[in-house]
Amino acid sequence: MPQTTCHMSISLDGFAAGPDQDRDNPLGVGGMEVHRWHLGEITDPADRTAVDWLMRPRGAYVMGRNMFGPIRGAWDGDWTGWWGDEPPYHAPVFVLTHHAREPVELQGGTTFHFVTEGFDAAFAQATEAAGDRGVDIAGGASTVRQALRAGVVDELTLDVAPVLLGSGERLFDDVSDLRVTPVEVLHSPLASHVRYRIDR
């Protein structure tokens, strides 16, 4: 059976994004510090390996609306995500939202589909689209929490940055009885990269 994966960067105090997310601060105030390990020039071998983990091809993705963009309420028809004309996914992406929208097809094989029926419906559509190539829960924190509570994640990778954000989007709020086994650990000055198997 294909694996469902999730790869998230978090602060030392457990936040995946800082407070006050908007167009100028897509990861919230201070949130970019959590992602320094894979932004810009990557020189540390551990960070390079973790980028390979992050960018491995998957058959489909599930993400929340906050990850797709900063817009709240009705859609701005011009917004097609943070990633430009060719997003890095190269596969169908199912976006959780309360506001219906026609799919957005971009270069490189990425099409964003907007799902209003909740996480279970988005995951089912992603699983069907992915076939034997597996699904990745791309974020943000709320979507990952839903996936963990639903028990669908097989492998969770965390990049723990030595940064304290103090507030924002905490990854593990309202997630209980999560049992994991570390299967690989790498360190750099910018993050500790840990791949966990989810135990059921």
Mean pLDDT by 10 residues, the chain (200 residues): 90 93 86 93 97 96 93 83 94 97 96 98 98 96 96 98 95 91 97 96
Report the pLDDT value the prediction gives residue 1, as an integer from 0 to 100: 54
DSSP secondary structure letters along 26-45: TT-TTGGGGGGGGSS----H
Report the pLDDT value the prediction gives residue 140, as an integer from 0 to 100: 93
Inside any domain, residue 76 = no
Which residues neighbour 8 within 8 Å (Cβ) at sequence distance 6 or greater? 16, 139, 141, 144, 156, 157, 158, 159, 171
Inside any domain, residue 126 = yes
Inside any domain, residue 156 = yes
Long-range contacts of 112-116 (CB under 8 A, 24+ apart): 112/68, 112/80, 112/81
Inside any domain, residue 77 = no
Q: Torsion angle of alpha carbons 5, 184, 48, 89, nearest 10°? A: -10
Inside any domain, residue 153 = yes
DSSP 8-state assignment for residue 169: E
Q: How many domains does the chain have?
A: 1
Q: What is the CATH number of the domain that holds 34?
A: 3.40.430.10
Identify which of 168, 135, 124 has the alpha carbon closest to the alpha carbon of residue 57.
135
Residue 124 phi/psi, 5-degree rounding, is: -65, -45
Q: What is the pTM of this model?
A: 0.95
Distance of alpha carbon 156 from the chain centroid: 11
| Residue-range definition of the domain harbouring residue 44 | 4-71+85-199
Inside any domain, residue 80 = no
Inside any domain, residue 79 = no
Inside any domain, residue 61 = yes
Report the pLDDT value the prediction gives residue 58, as an integer from 0 to 100: 97
